[in-house]
Amino acid sequence: MPLSSELTLASSPRAAADARRWVSDVCRKLERADLVECAELGVSELVANAIIHATAPYKVRVRGTASHPRIEVVDGSTSPPVPPVLPAPRGGDELELLLTFGRGLAMVAQCSVAWGATIEADGKVVWFEPSDEMADEAAAEWVVDHHDEPGPEPTSEAAVEVRLLGVDVGLYSALARQYNELRRELRLLSLSHQSDYPLAGDLTSMFANFERQFPDSYRLQLRDAQERRLPQVDLTFAMMRESAPILVTMTEMFDVADAFCRAERLLSMARTAPQRTLHNWILGELIHQLDGAAAEPWRGHQRSTATSTSQVG
């Protein structure tokens, strides 16, 4: 099964039913039929909540691991959902409970091992890990995740001006999406399943330290190039010399993460060959320039495949 699959939902009353059918099919393909009932109930409530209170685009997808699949509902609003403060009422007609929207988030908590939201710049992701049976009370853990703040601009005399020449903006954008999915995946695993995935917490800390090596000016230049739809861009920014060992270590860690993804220990996609080549070129350029080498421009996939080993080895 393609682990990157997701379903785009229409802004209509049928969205919840479409999401239910799709999630049920995904659970069965993952050989987790035991999760179908709670998965269907939870996704119905989250989709209904998104359609009523949020804005398009609306999507549903599955992430996490095969042991702990996570269902996510994406919308265009940055307002977080309000977690329930009281459990849903016990007893009563099951159909009435399903159709009572005011009890929605409490029901999601009853259907979940863990649940929460990630607030992003252009919307949010509300997620839950379906349980194999519905609990009597809404006791599942609630987690809110935010992106880390960018690193400060280096001001020390030890800072080095580095340049990335001719960066392929489209390929970088695809790489950034893959990175953000992986980064969030590891962070949520470290928050909700630290005992099952102790490495996720260690990798999350390493990723956060890696991100702090890049100043905000790096991200702003890339964002500007994306908004202007430039095919290529030259980037100039400052980094600390002490960043080089961190970049070397992370080059290896990204390969480890790719291996986890390919083995389906994470329900995220590994980097494609072009993405990995661009990533290795970026990291290799920074490592060499921090060591005093001159900047070399990006020359595309063919050239970098032959030279990436020598750049970052």
Backbone phi and psi for residue 236, each to the nearest 5 degrees, phi listed first: -135, 125
The token duo for 53 is 């209170």
Distance CA 36, CA 308 (A): 45
Residue 226 burial (C-beta neighbours within 10 Å; 0-12, 13-18, 19+) = middle
- pLDDT tens-place string over residues 59-104: 999 988 778 899 999 999 988 777 655 444 444 444 443 344 445 6
Q: Which stretches of the chain score pLDDT less than 70? A: 1-4, 83-104, 138-141, 146-157, 301-313
In three-state secondary structure terms, 242 is coil
CATH of region 6-146, choose from 3.30.565.10, 1.10.150.670, 3.40.50.1000, 3.40.1160.10: 3.30.565.10
- Model's pTM, two decimal places? 0.71
Q: Write the CB contacts of 67 (distance below 8 Å, at least 6 apart in sequence).
A: 196
Task: Judge whether 33 and 107 are in contact, CB under 8 Å.
Answer: no
- The pLDDT score that the predictor gives to residue 67 is 83
- The pLDDT score that the predictor gives to residue 137 is 75
- The pLDDT score that the predictor gives to residue 292 is 95
- The pLDDT score that the predictor gives to residue 121 is 77
Cis, peptide link before residue 57, omega less than 30° from 0: yes
- The pLDDT score that the predictor gives to residue 75 is 94
In the chain, CATH 3.30.565.10 sits at: 6-146
